[in-house]
Every structure is written in structure tokens, then in C-alpha cells.
């Protein structure tokens, strides 16, 4: 179903592994981990512009709320007119409500594709999703763009003695695929659990960055207070979503951590770290842009204000002035 994702993901991962495998040993766990991290960075570089557009769109959506409330109140009995006026407002403000969907829509198939590709290096075992290959058959079968030699390289790579496609709930029948590595489930947990916790912490921190900025803008009066019941309901829904981002999403990562193998956990960690620093940089840039816009508005207002000490022009004729004197 997602073959159109699996092949490109495996190709990008293969490309980076050829680079780092030439610097380190091809079956080095460090080379494979760097390949996964740089696959993540490759995707995120391509998403920089959509991500910045998304964050700017969210800022404009906050600024639009007072006018959105006016439109809803004015055309509450005419849904078609409300939709037309809303579209006009979006066009006037230069924003698109769908902009916030682009990044998640791209990242989700990448996440699922990488999950599948990395897990498919080990097709032994009899658990859910396993193909039940023998150890020998698995080590000599290609995995998408990866040759059998690449498959053996990945299977022989480890991180602190644990294979990169190991995960906490991996069936013991799949352990045999990693010849030459002596590990237990306790070893897998000791490696995976800290990565799961760090990913959950960064997910919380990323949400905290966005929410703190929203609160700061609201405190500075840059976000209008709810003007009616509908606006108050939307504000309540946003607060609920913020709580989900802060606590529920990190909790979901912790709860599902037993499913994520080491390679995918490094993808999640690299993605979260990138998001953290990119968000800080973009917010700083947006704050400077907003300060410049406000300064430009103040300058325009000062320029258009009447001059206090301006000389009055006497429009009387010369004769009238002489008579008046």
C-alpha cells in the first residue's frame, strides 16, 4: 500500500549509509545511526519552507480572530455568506488554513515508511508482521533498495551491543537473526527506554515553546480575548488541544515505546531536536518581523499626524490684510 514511500525512504537511507559507511565501517552502528539522523534532516530541510509558512499562518490566524468573530456573528444565519466572507478574509490576510496540514501529512508517511523499512531488515520470527524467514534466508534477501550485503551490514550493526532493529517487545524468536550479538531483553530495554523518555521530553518541550509564545502574545494584547460564546468555545478547544500537546502526546510516546525499535527512536529523537531548534529560530525571526511591522505602522502614523507647530497660512488678499492692519 505504501510502496511509493518505502522505496524513496530506503533510497535516501542507502545514500547516507554509503557516505557514512565509507567513513566508518559499513556495519558500524554509528554509521547506520548517522544515516537515519541525516535521512531525518533531509526530510526536514525539504519541509523548512512549509513549516515556516505554517507557523506564520498560525500567527495570522490568531490576529484574524476578532474579524472572524464579527463575520460569524453577522452571518450566523447565512452559512454560504459566512463562508464567502471568511474566504475573502483569508485572501486579504494572505493565509491558508490548510497550511498547517502540509507538514504532518508529509511526516506521517515518512515515519511509517521508515518504521517498515527498518523493521524489514529482520523478517524472521513468527510475531505480528513477521514473515517467518529462516536466519539464512533473511540474511540473503534484499530489503527494497538494500542488497543482501547491506541487509547483513544492518543486522550486524549494534548500539551498545543491541541490534538497531531491536525493540522492547520484539519476540525472542527474532533474536536469532542477529548472529554474533549476545543480548537479552533487559539489554534492549536498557537502550530503548532512555531514548523513549528523551523523545517524550522533547515532544513536551516543543509544545511548551509554542504555548508559552501564545500566552506571551495574549498577555501583550496581540491576541484578542473571546468576544462571544462561540469564540469562547473555540478558545476552550484550543486550550484543550494545548494540554494534549503538552501531556497526552508525550504520554502516548511513553505508552507505545515498547513498539519502537532503536533505529526509529533515533529518527524520532533527531526530528524532535530539529523541531526544537527550528522553532526557536523561526519564532525569533517572526518576533523581529512583527516588531519591524509595528515600528513601520508607528512611523506611518507619525508621518500622517498634523504638525503641532505648523505655520497658519493667511489666505486673505493683500488689500484685505492692509485694511485689517
Encode pLDDT of 95-107 as tens digits: 776 766 777 788 8
Query: Is the model's pLDDT at 308 over the cut of 60?
Result: no
Q: Is residue 141 part of a domain?
A: yes
- Quote the domain boundaries for residue 106: 3-291
Residues with Cβ < 8 Å from 50, sequence gap 6 or more?
A: 99, 102, 103, 106
C-alpha–C-alpha distance, residues 17 and 174, integer Å: 24
C-alpha–C-alpha distance, residues 29 and 20, integer Å: 10
| pLDDT given at position 252 | 93
Q: Is residue 99 part of a domain?
A: yes
Query: Is the model's pLDDT at 311 over the cut of 60?
Result: no
Q: Is residue 313 part of a domain?
A: no
C-alpha–C-alpha distance, residues 48 and 299, integer Å: 33
**Band of pLDDT at residue 291, cut at 50, 70 and 90:** confident
| pLDDT given at position 321 | 56
Rounded to the nearest angstrom, the gap between the alpha carbon of residue 128 and the centroid of all alpha carbons in its chain is: 29
Task: Write out 27-96 in H/E/C secondary structure.
Answer: CCHHHHHHHHHHHHHHHHHHCHHHHHHHHHHHHHHHHHHHHHHHHHHHCCCCHHHHHHHHHHHHHHHCCC
Closest by Cα among 235, 231, 225 to 76: 231
Percent of the residues in the chain that have a pLDDT greater than 90, as a whole number: 41
Encode pLDDT of 165-175 as tens digits: 899 999 888 89
Closest by Cα among 144, 117, 122, 103 to 39: 117
Region 261-275 average pLDDT:
94
Query: Is the model's pLDDT at 273 over the cut of 90?
Result: yes
The residue ranking higher by pLDDT, 21 or 242, is 21
Q: Is residue 315 part of a domain?
A: no
| pLDDT given at position 44 | 92
Q: Is residue 320 part of a domain?
A: no
The total of structural domains in the chain comes to 1
Residues with Cβ < 8 Å from 273, sequence gap 6 or more?
A: 202
**Band of pLDDT at residue 292, cut at 50, 70 and 90:** confident
Q: Is residue 234 part of a domain?
A: yes
Q: Is residue 306 part of a domain?
A: no
CA separation (Å) from 58 to 32, 45, 61, 287, 309? 37, 20, 5, 14, 44
Count of C-beta atoms within a 10 Å radius of residue 98: 11
| pLDDT given at position 222 | 65
Query: Is the model's pLDDT at 41 over the cut of 70?
Result: yes
Phi/psi of residue 162, nearest 5 degrees: -115, 135
The residue ranking higher by pLDDT, 324 or 16, is 16
Query: Is the model's pLDDT at 138 over the cut of 80?
Result: yes
Encode pLDDT of 144-173 as tens digits: 999 999 999 999 999 999 999 899 999 888
Q: What residues form DSSP beta bridges with 162?
A: 159
Read off the pTM.
0.81
| pLDDT given at position 6 | 93
Encode pLDDT of 197-255 as tens digits: 999 999 999 999 888 888 887 777 766 555 555 556 656 666 777 788 889 999 999 99
Whether the CB-CB separation of 130 and 124 falls below 8 Å is answered with yes
Region 39-52 average pLDDT:
90
Least confident of 47-56, 154-163, 295-304, 314-323: 314-323
Q: Is residue 296 part of a domain?
A: no
Residues with Cβ < 8 Å from 237, sequence gap 6 or more?
A: none
Amino acid at each position: 500500500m505504501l510502496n511509493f514511500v518505502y522505496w524513496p525512504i530506503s533510497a535516501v537511507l542507502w545514500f547516507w549509509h554509503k557516505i557514512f559507511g565509507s567513513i566508518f565501517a559499513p556495519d558500524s552502528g554509528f554509521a547506520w545511526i548517522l544515516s537515519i539522523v541525516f535521512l531525518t534532516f533531509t526530510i526536514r530541510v525539504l519541509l523548512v519552507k512549509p513549516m515556516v509558512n505554517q507557523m506564520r499562518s498560525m500567527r495570522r490566524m490568531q490576529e484574524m480572530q476578532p474579524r472572524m468573530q464579527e463575520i460569524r456573528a453577522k452571518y450566523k444565519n447565512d452559512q454560504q455568506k459566512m463562508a464567502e466572507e471568511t474566504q475573502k478574509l483569508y485572501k486579504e490576510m494572505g493565509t491558508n488554513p490548510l497550511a498547517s496540514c502540509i507538514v504532518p501529512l508529509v511526516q506521517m508517511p515518512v515515519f511509517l515508511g521508515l518504521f517498515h523499512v527498518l523493521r524489514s531488515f529482520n523478517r524472521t520470527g513468527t510475531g505480528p508482521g513477521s514473515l517467518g524467514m529462516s536466519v539464512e534466508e533473511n540474511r540473503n534477501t534484499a530489503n527494497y533498495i538494500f542488497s543482501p550485503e547491506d541487509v547483513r551490514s544492518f543486522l550486524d550493526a549494534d548500539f551498545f551491543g543491541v541490534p538497531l532493529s531491536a525493540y522492547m517487545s520484539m519476540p525472542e524468536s527474532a533474536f536469532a537473526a542477529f548472529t554474533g550479538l549476545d543480548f537479552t531483553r533487559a539489554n534492549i530495554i536498557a537502550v530503548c527506554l532512555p531514548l523513549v523518555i528523551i523523545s517524550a521530553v522533547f515532544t513536551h518541550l516543543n509544545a511548551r515553546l509554542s504555548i508559552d509564545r501564545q500566552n506571551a502574545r495574549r498577555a501583550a494584547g496581540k491576541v484578542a480575548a473571546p468576544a462571544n460564546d462561540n469564540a469562547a468555545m473555540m478558545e476552550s478547544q484550543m486550550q484543550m488541544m494545548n494540554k494534549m500537546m503538552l501531556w497526552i502526546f508525550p504520554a502516548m510516546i511513553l505508552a507505545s515505546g515498547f513498539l519502537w525499535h532503536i533505529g526509529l527512536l533515533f529518527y524520532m529523537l533527531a526530528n524532535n531536536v530539529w523541531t526544537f531548534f527550528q522553532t526557536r529560530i523561526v519564532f525569533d525571526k517572526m518576533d523581529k518581523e512583527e516588531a519591524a511591522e509595528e515600528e513601520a505602522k508607528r512611523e506611518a502614523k507619525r508621518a500622517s499626524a498634523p504638525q503641532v507647530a505648523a505655520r497658519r497660512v493667511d489666505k486673505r488678499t493683500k488689500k484685505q490684510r492692509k485694511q485689517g492692519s
